[in-house]
Each structure stands twice: as C-alpha cells, then as structure tokens.
Structure 1
Amino acid sequence: MDLELKQKTALVLGGGGGLGGAIAWSLANEGANVVVADISLDAAQSTVTKLVEAGLKASALEWDLAQLDTIDSKVSEVEAKYGQVDILVNNTGGPPPTTAHSQDSSLWSKHFESMVLSVIKITDRVLPGMRERKWGRIITSTSSGVVSPIPNLGISNALRLSLVGWSKTLAREVGNDGITVNIVLPGRIATGRITFLDEAKAKREGRSVEEVSKESTAAIAVGRYGDPEEYGDVVAFLASTKASYITGSTIRIDGGLITSI
C-alpha cells in the first residue's frame, strides 16, 4: 500500500528515543523528508545516521522543548531545510515516577511547559501553513495512562491526559481544512523508557526486573512487549492520505493491555 507520503515534510519530536526513532523510520521509509528533533543532538543524529545509511532522507535538529522562546526559530530551521511542515509528531519525554500528591508546584510547572505547552505552541506554529495548503497531520503520542492511570506516574497521567482534551477539541476546529488530529498511546513497547520504569518498579518493590517484566507481559493479550516498529507503522498510516477520515481519535497500540472498553 502506497501511503502517499513521498516528499511530505515530517517533524518528529523526541526522535532520538525508541518510539520517536521508530516513528521517524516508518515515515522516512514511506518517502517523507524527516526532521528528527531531540534534546540530545547525539541521539537525534544516531537516528538520522540509520535512516541515511538506508538511503532515506532525514536530518537532525537539537531541540529542548522546555525552551519555549526558541520554537519559532526551530520551526524556521525545518522550513529552510525541507519546506513547511506537513506532518507533526508530538512526542515528548516523560516525567520521573511520582505520586499524584505532595509534589512541588515547580515540578508540575516544569513538566507542563515541556510536555504540554510546548506541544500546543509548536502545533500553533505549523497550523497556519497546513490550513493554507488544506492538508496536514497532527499526531500526539501520549501514554496508556490517559485511559488507565498507571500507579506512581501521577504527573504523567495528569499532564498527558490534558493533551487528549486539547487534541479532540483541535480536531473539530481544523477538520474542514483537511487537517487530522489524533492521539496515539503505547502500551508496553520495548524501549529504554519501559526498561527504566520496570527497573524503578523492581527497586521500589524489592523485586527483580525479570519478575516485574514477566508480570507485565502476563497482562498483555498478545503475551509480549511491543516492537517499536509496530508503533511507528501505525503513526505512518495515520499520517497518510489513507487515514483522511480518522480524526479526533485516540488509537491504542498496546497489544490488548488496556482492559477498559
């Protein structure tokens, strides 16, 4: 199936990580020109090197999402390289494990700016061009915690859920402009972030990482952690012309982990 993404410009935030890197790969493999943005230039470049070695088009961009005053200049760099952004993938890092109570207000503010406000402002920056061209894709990666809150991820559960409400509202505002706006949420995808969370839980509960991983796997319908490429491929489909009638949706890519309907 041709997803018709050739020569589209895709900006993938957090593209140096496991999920972001997989998304960048899937989009580039479909012919998109991909800008891989990450707070770590080395991480972004690592993703880009793999793509370029495979004959795909990609470039790296160092970007600290907490620095809101750099958004316009960073997007301008992308536009200078490949033209206006057609596909925006909002993928941010997660906060540290915390309870929902007794957290300092400065911690809430810090992660609100980097995880939520940055996403909103970057989207606002690229939307005018999309509306003018009558085509665009806004895809925001969150967490299964927005459907079934994850214990000891209080800040993440709360802040990521706010992006779901924002995304759903935005979808209705720009749908007539040929722009789709969707949320994707991963279950237990085998990335460094999941390894970190498994290790933190094992330490907190005095158990082995293997025991924690085995317990988590048992709760997944397909009986395994997901492959990052499986996640990236769903995002690529949502970015395509084939998914033009999917908007305002929350897509679970979780192997059947989430038990709610």
Structure 2
Amino acid sequence: MDLGLSGRTAIVLGASQGMGLAISEGLASEGADVAMFARRAEVIEREAKRIGGLAVTGDLTSEADLERLVDETVKAFGRIDVVVLNGGGPPPGPAASVTAADVAAAVELLLVPHVRLVGLCLPYLRKSGRGRIVAIESTSVKEPIANLALSNAVRPGVVGWLKTLARELGPEGITVNTIAPGRIDTERLHALYGPDGPPPEALALIPARRVGAPAEIAATVCFLASEQAAYISGAVVPVDGGMLNGLF
C-alpha cells in the first residue's frame, strides 16, 4: 500500500531512541523528510545521518528550542505536514505522595510542549492541505497504571486537549490522533521494570503474551499520517497486544 508520504515533511520529537527513533525510521522508509528532535546531540546527529533525516538538538520543554526546530525544518524542507508529539514520562510513584509541584512539572513535560509545538506548526499544517498530528501517549489515558499517578493524572488531560483540537481542525483537513502504547520494548519500560523487562506475571496480563516492538508503534503512526487515514481523527488507538479491557 502506498501511504502517500513521499515528499511530505514530518517532525518527530524524542527521536534519538525507542519509539521516536522507530517512528523516524518508519516515516523515512515511506519517503518522508524527517526532522528528528532530541537532547543528545551526538546520538541524534548519528541517527539522522543513518536514515537521511535532519538532526535538531534541543529540549522539548524549551520554547526557544521548539521555535528553532520549526525554523530549521522549514528552512531545510520548505514545509511541515506531520507532527509527531513524543517524549519521556514523569517519574513513577503513588498518588498519595504526589505534590502540587510534581503535577506542575508533569504538565510542563507532557502538555505544554505539545501546545507550543502545535501552535508553531499550525500555519504549515494548514498550508499542507493534509496536515497530521499524532501524539504518543500511554494506555494510562484509558486505564490508570499502578504506581504511575502523574501519568494517570496528566495524560488524559492531554488527550482531552487533542480531541478538542481534532474537532476544531477537522474542517481544515487536519487530523489529530493519539496512540496509546502498551508495554513496548523501550528504555522507559526497562527503567520501570528492570533490565529483564516485565516479569512473567505481567506478560500474562497481555493477550499477545509479549511486549510490543517500537516498529509496531511506527507502523501505526505511518498509517495515521497517510492519505488513507484522512477520515480518522480524534481517535485514541491502543497498540497494546489486547491488554486494555475497556469497551471504549
């Protein structure tokens, strides 16, 4: 299937490793020009060179860095058609120990950068005629995860903003969707579970009986960014091996 991504330009946040890197690889393999954004200069430059992308070093919580990301992308490629919102998660911990400062920090990490970058990219997404915004969140937007109170509290709010955005931008041909990854084989997963990943009792809760691969998230992003996905917007798409039990 030709996804119609050849010649399109995508921005991918958190692109130096894990899901962000896999998404960059997937989009590039479909013929898209990819601006890859991450903090570690040496790593992002190496990976961008490997897949033929544009490396932009910066911190997603820095307004100036996001402005520079957009400027450098437009300077290099002349357009922005796809924005992939992706980044790290807040520290784990129980709800009873969360402080107001913790919540504010989580909002600054998970929501504020998305709002800033989308605002910067909207003029270009409107010119595109087929703008796509895809956010990488978590199954916590559907079902709280034990010991991840901050993610459980803030990420559903991010999705509320994204779904509102989808309704507002739909008449302009721009789609806005969220991916809710389950247990994916990334550095974040190993930080939470240790070097061996989830124990057998955790895998037993996943009908697929395994963790997912970053490439499986990338494939979903590529489809949502495609011409064929033009009628999908405001959706939350679990990529979790069937782990979620909710009907909606």
Shorter-chain TM-score category?
A: over 0.9
Output the CA distance in 1 between the equivalents of 2:49 and 2:197. 35
Distance in 1 (CA, whole Å) between partners of 2:43 and 2:201 is 31
What CA distance in whole angstroms lies between the structure 2 residues aligned with 1:43 and 1:151?
Answer: 32
Unaligned runs of 5+ in 1: 52-56, 200-208
- SS across alignment from 1:236: helix
1:3-40 deviation line (CA, Å, top 9, x unaligned) = 01011110000011201011111100000001110122
Contact 2:60 2:113 in 1 (8 A): yes
Query: For residue 38 of structure 2, what is the aligned residue in structure 1?
Result: 38
For the aligned residue pairs, the C-alpha RMSD in angstroms reads 1.5
Give the drift of 1:118: 0.7
What's the CA shift for 1:222? Answer: 1.1
> Are residues 134 and 146 of structure 1, via their aligned partners in 2, closer, same or farther at CA, if it must alter by over 3 Å?
same
**TM-score, scaled relative to structure 2:** 0.94
Q: Which has the higher helix share?
A: 1
Which residue is 1:126 aligned to? Answer: 121
Q: Distance in 1 between matches of 2:174 and 2:142?
A: 25
Quote the offset at 1:129 in angstroms: 1.9
- The question of whether the paired residues in 1 share the 8 Å contact of 2:208 and 2:241 is answered with yes
Q: Which runs of 5 or more structure 2 residues have no equivalent in the other structure?
A: none
User: In the alignment, which residue of structure 2 is the partner of 1:194?
Assistant: 189
Q: What is aligned with 1:63?
A: 58
Deviation string for 1:88-123 (max 9, x for gaps)?
Answer: 000011111122233333332222112211101100
Q: Does 1:227 align with 2:213?
A: yes
1:112-147 deviations in Å (ceiling 9; x for gaps): 112211101100111122223322000000001111
2:98 touches 2:149 (CA, 8 Å); kept in 1?
A: no
Q: Secondary structure at the match of 1:138?
A: strand
Count of matched residue positions in the alignment of Structure 1 and Structure 2: 247
CA contact (8 A) 2:28 2:53 kept: yes
Instruction: Specify the alignment match of 1:94 in structure 2.
Output: 89
Distance in 1 (alpha carbons) for counterparts of 2:35 and 2:127: 21
Q: What is the identity percentage for the equivalent residue pairs of Structure 1 and Structure 2?
A: 38
1:203 corresponding residue in structure 2: none
Q: Does 1:178 align with 2:178?
A: no
